[in-house]
Amino acid sequence: MGLGSTAKKIQKVADIAEDLYAKVTELKTQLQELRGTVEETNDRVDDLDRELAEQRALLEAIADEQGIDVETVQTEALIDDAETEPDTDDTTR
């Protein structure tokens, strides 16, 4: 094996290494952007959870003021939802 073919092989390995480095750098950037997006989404979800809790508290206070039993209304809503959901049990086959 001559020096020329060895140099070509080394150059090919160096080119592959450069391509891999560029891809790793690109993936690192994408991962950082993804982390930022996940953090922003988590913050939004936390905000929505707080807002939902506040709204629930207000609705329960209004319901109590109007003499409405919140637990009964929730139970009836769950029953109605269960009755209107399509049957996903495939045991009849």
The domain tally of the chain equals 1
Residue 89 covered by a domain: no
Joined together, the tokens standing for residue 7 give 């140099």
Q: What is the pTM (predicted TM-score) of this model? A: 0.59
Cα 21 from chain centroid (whole Å): 29
* Distance of alpha carbon 14 from alpha carbon 8, whole angstroms: 10
Residue 52 scores a pLDDT above 60: yes
Residue 47 covered by a domain: yes
pLDDT at 4: 76
Residue 92 scores a pLDDT above 80: no
Residue 60: count other Cβ atoms within 10 Å of its Cβ.
13
- Looking at per-residue pLDDT, the higher value among 85 and 88 belongs to 85
- State the average pLDDT over residues 59-70: 94
Domain enclosing residue 70, as ranges: 3-84
Residue 92 covered by a domain: no
